[in-house]
Structure 1
Amino acid sequence: MAEPLKNLLHPGLVTDMAGHISSHAPDFDAARFTRLATDGMAALELMQRAERIKDALAETLPADYAAAADILRKALPENGNPGLTGWALLPVNQFVSQHGLQHFELSLALLKALTPHFTAEFGIRRFIHAEQDRALAEISGWVTDANHHVRRLASEGTRPRLPWAMRLPALVKDPQPILPILVALLDDPEDYVRRSVANSLNDIAKDHPVLVTDFVERHIAGASAERRQLLRHASRTLLKRGDAKALANFGFAAAKGIAATLTLATPVVDFGDKLGFSIVVTNAETAPQRLMIDYAIHHVKANGTLAPKVFKWKQLDLPAGASQAIAKDHAIRAITTRRYYPGAHRIEILINGAICASADFDLRME
């Protein structure tokens, strides 16, 4: 069984944090910090543990925020020396976010400094929410930073619907202010940064599909393979929905005269095994067609209803009058982002966004 996410924050990590902070603040009460941060920790989930550690920082660092921020900045790794890094910086993000709004530039500078050691995408969002124009003016300057973690922070931290983080309702409503940041990073040399840009555009597509399809259309002409991949990933939600313009941006049209025959190799699946299935796709038209083939698994929820999840599968060019068979195994196993329930599930085959075949299968669990 996978290790629970909450154990990313644990008593040993708190002890390490106390040591790194103490080395730059002789008056820091490491014992009190450790006691407060670990009190009742075993019963808390990940974000609750982060909150508990954040509150312990507030109780034991200097009351003067600038002095506390200076200690935390010095406690970061530097010149090969160890320091606060990894998940230890999640509660530091929260501390800066909660206590640093009255020290705007100082706090953003601290978040920029810590992001190479753990993302600051959570910490900067309260600053964007509080004073969007002021925050974006600072963040926009990060797109040319020599450190790719800082460049990624410019795109990831401004995502309107960043998972696990507070939503930015003003940017959900009107994402235009962050488009210059995304354009500046379209051809970033790091895939890590480009994927963040794609994820931000995909967030925007959920509320403003036309804005994103127009954006892709403007930037796909003459695009490099890397930029084209970014734009495709940015369009994934729209492609799964069968959005006509999103499909057209990548050379797909509404499928005509396409038939798909679906066969299940495992109509009953035991949890931990694989759903095996295959399809035969036939093009009855007199012209070849470019096909994007995906599939959706409709998972049973706790209340017995079904909820679909679309998975990418295959792209092919099918000649006129031709048929092609393809097969797939889909693992049904424990993952941290989904809880499975037994019962009747469904699989659907989507071709260029349209449902072309479906079948039910049973999931058995002990």
Structure 2
Amino acid sequence: MAEALKHLIGPGTARDTADAVAGAFSRFDPAAFLDDILPVIDGLELMQRGQCIANALRRHLPDDFEAAAAILHACLPAPDRAGLSGWALLSFNQYVAGHGRDHLETALGLLKALTPHFTAEFGIRPFIADDQEKALAIIFGWVTDPNHHVRRLASEGTRPRLPWAMRLPRLVQDPSPILPILEALIDDEEDYVRRSVANSLNDIAKDHPDLVADFVERHKADASKDRLWLLKHASRTLLKKGHAKALANFGYEQLSDVNVTLALENDHVGFPGELGFEIRLLNIGREPRTVLVDYAIHHQKKDGSLSPKVFKGRSLMIEPGDSATIAKRHAFRPITTRVYHPGAHRLEIMLNGVVQTGADFDLAAPGDSDGAEQHAR
């Protein structure tokens, strides 16, 4: 995957950049620019390739950032001309983040113009880190922009814990400065923007669970279907963790009158392989119950201890005296984000965020799927 990703930027990207800049800057020397890039770019990874082009731009554009920014802006698509778009603009992000820090308004204006053609969510973060108050004041002005990419940049670029991007420690500690941005976009007409708002709130919930639960409570009254989806998606980490107010916000009460039983298909799972299990719920009370069913796999770590990961299940309503059966299969297969260790593991079933029952099982060593089948027989 990494090998394929790095080819999103390559010699062709450098040549396209050279052509675009030459068309906007008469004193630009495209041959010298490419001589700085082409001999080395094939040996670099994706982000390094973008930075290589950004470094060459630094050497061949005017030292004055204001003048350089105007040239880069002229390389973007416009109604009367074609221009650079897509991954070719990663280097523009990197150039601006590296060399525009003393020119806040010009730099953010260029990133705003760039974002309809390629994301600028990584490029704006150094400016927020440098001067949070002034940067957020400018970014808040984007929430009414007619372009939905710009509106999304306002929410996505300010996420405290944006994946694969520099963290914003001040906003991790105190996210209140970005709440007005999220509130302004909570009913945006574009799902693309609303999903970003939900993800930002979910980021905040990891450090300030009560703040997000209160935010959801304030905004769920008379909410549209789209807003309710956003608020629930924003609460997903809190719901997995069984946060009482987050559960109550969506009608998931603490349950005492729903019995749950768990049956494993097999207590020894091969690798790769699947853990099959069945959950049976019985409402022994006198009222219908809304039940959120999740499960956690406690994976064995290298030191033999167990580390849980919660997986989303389903929500259902169970009438008094009724039962419901849920059959699940959980796959164990090689993935890049987890190292599996053979040995004792545990499955736990949660109703409305509270663990109700569980069962132990063994995971075989990689390649031992046959042994697991023999153990089952």
TM-score scaled by length of structure 1: 0.90
Deviation digits for residues 206-253 of structure 1, max 9, x if unmatched?
111111111111110000000000000111111111000000000111
In 2, the alpha carbon distance for the partners of 1:276 and 1:206 equals 31
Larger radius of gyration: 2
Asked if 1:175 is matched to 2:175, the reply is yes
Change (3 A) 1:260 1:113: same
Query: Which amino acid is 1:343 matched to?
Result: P
How far apart in 1 are the matches of 2:20 and 2:138?
A: 29
Q: Give the match's secondary structure for 1:8.
A: coil
**In 2, distance between residues paired with 1:242 and 1:274?**
26
Counterpart-to-counterpart distance in 1, 2:34 and 2:265: 55
- Distance, in Å, in 2 between the alignment partners of 1:294 and 1:80 is 53
**TM superposition shift of 1:115:** 0.4
User: What letter matches 1:217 in structure 2?
Assistant: E
Is the contact made by 1:261 and 1:281 (CA closer than 8 Å) also made in structure 2? yes
Distance 1:301 1:290 in 2: 35
User: Which residue in the other structure is 1:341 paired with?
Assistant: 340
Task: Name the structure 2 match of 1:270.
Answer: 271
Question: Partner residue of 1:212?
Answer: 212
Q: In 2, Cα distance between the equivalents of 1:300 and 1:57?
A: 49
* 1:132-169 residue CA offsets vs partner (Å, 9 max, x unmatched): 11111111111111000000011111111111111111
Q: How does 1:36-185 map to 2 (within 5 A)?
A: 36-79=36-79, 81-185=81-185
Deviation sequence 1:90-144 (CA, Å, 0-9, x none): 2211211111121111111100000011111111111111111111111111111
Rounded to whole Å, the distance in 2 between the matches of 1:81 and 1:347 is: 58
Q: Deviation of residue 67 (structure 1)?
A: 1.9
Partners of 1:254 and 1:148 in 2: how far apart? 40
* Correspondence for 2:370: none
CA, structure 1 residues 361+316, in 2 after alignment: closer, same or farther (shift >3 Å)?
farther
* Aligned residues of 1:37 and 1:55 also touching (Cα < 8 A): no
8 Å contact 1:38–1:53 — kept in the other structure? no
The whole-number CA distance in structure 2 between the counterparts of 1:15 and 1:174 is 44
Kindly provide the amino acid, as one letter, of the partner of residue 351 in structure 1: L
Higher alpha-carbon deviation: 133-142 or 313-322: 313-322
Question: Which stretches in structure 1 are left out of the alignment for 5+ residues?
Answer: none
Which whole-Å CA distance do the structure 2 matches of 1:300 and 1:87 have between them? 39
| Alignment partner, residue 188 of structure 1 | 188
- Kindly tell me: are residues 235 and 287 of structure 1, through their superposed partners in 2, closer, same or farther at Cα, counting changes over 3 Å? same
In 2 relative to 1, CA 205–52 (structure 1 residues): closer, same or farther, beyond 3 Å? same
Q: CA deviation at 1:15?
A: 2.8
Q: 1:47 to 1:349 in 2, by over 3 A?
A: farther
Distance 1:300 1:82, change over 3 A: farther
Q: 1:306 to 1:79 in 2, by over 3 A?
A: farther
Distance 2:228 2:304 in 1: 40
1:2–1:60 CA distance, 2 compared to 1 (3 A): closer
TM superposition shift of 1:89? 1.8
The answer (yes or no) to whether the contact 2:269–2:363 under 8 Å persists in 1 is: yes
Note if contact 2:127-2:135 (Cα within 8 Å) is conserved in structure 1.
Answer: yes
In structure 2, C-alpha distance between the alignment counterparts of 1:346 and 1:91, rounded to whole Å: 46
Rounded to whole Å, the distance in 1 between the matches of 2:151 and 2:10 is 30
After TM superposition, the score normalised by the length of structure 2 is: 0.88
Number of residues paired by the alignment? 364
The amino acid that maps onto 1:347 is L
1:84 CA drift (Å):
1.9
Find the aligned partners of 1:31 and 1:308 in 2 and give their Cα distance.
55
In the alignment, the residues of structure 2 paired with residue 129 and residue 187 of structure 1 have an alpha-carbon distance, to the nearest angstrom, of 28
Percent of matched pairs sharing the same residue? 57
Name stretches of at least 5 consecutive residues in structure 2 with no aligned partner: 368-377
Q: For residues 10-21 of structure 1, what are the structure 2 equivalents within 5 Å?
A: 10-21=10-21
Partner of 1:253 in structure 2?
A: 253
Higher mean C-alpha deviation, range 12-21 or range 311-320: 12-21
Matched residues in 1 for 2:64 and 2:151: separation? Answer: 30
Amino acid at match of 1:59: R
In structure 2, give the amino acid aligned to 1:190: E
- 3-state secondary structure, aligned to 2:230: helix
- The answer to whether the 8 Å contact 1:299/1:340 transfers is no
Structure 1 position 348, deviation (Å): 2.6
Deviation, 1:171, is 1.2
The 2-side partners of 1:316 and 1:251 are apart by: 11
Structure 2 CA distance for aligned equivalents of residues 95 and 350 of structure 1: 48
Opposite residue 247 of structure 1, the aligned amino acid is L
CA–CA separation in structure 2 for the residues paired with 1:330 and 1:31: 55
The 1:44–1:262 alpha-carbon spacing in structure 2 relative to 1, beyond 3 Å, is farther
Other structure's SS at 1:285 match: coil
SS for the counterpart of 1:160 is: coil
Contact kept in structure 1, 2:114 and 2:120, CA below 8 Å: yes
Please report the RMSD computed on the Cα atoms of aligned residues, expressed in angstroms: 2.4
CA-CA distance at 1:315 after TM superposition: 0.2
Tell me how far apart the structure 2 counterparts of residues 196 and 225 of structure 1 sit (CA, whole Å): 17
Identify if the C-alpha distance between structure 1 residues 134 and 2 changes in structure 2 by more than 3 Å, giving closer, same or farther.
Answer: closer
Query: Cα 1:32–1:312, aligned 2, differ >3 Å: closer, same or farther?
Result: farther
Does the 8 A contact of 2:259 with 2:283 survive in 1?
yes
Matched, 1:353 2:349: no
The 1:281/1:53 distance shift into structure 2, 3 A limit, reads: farther
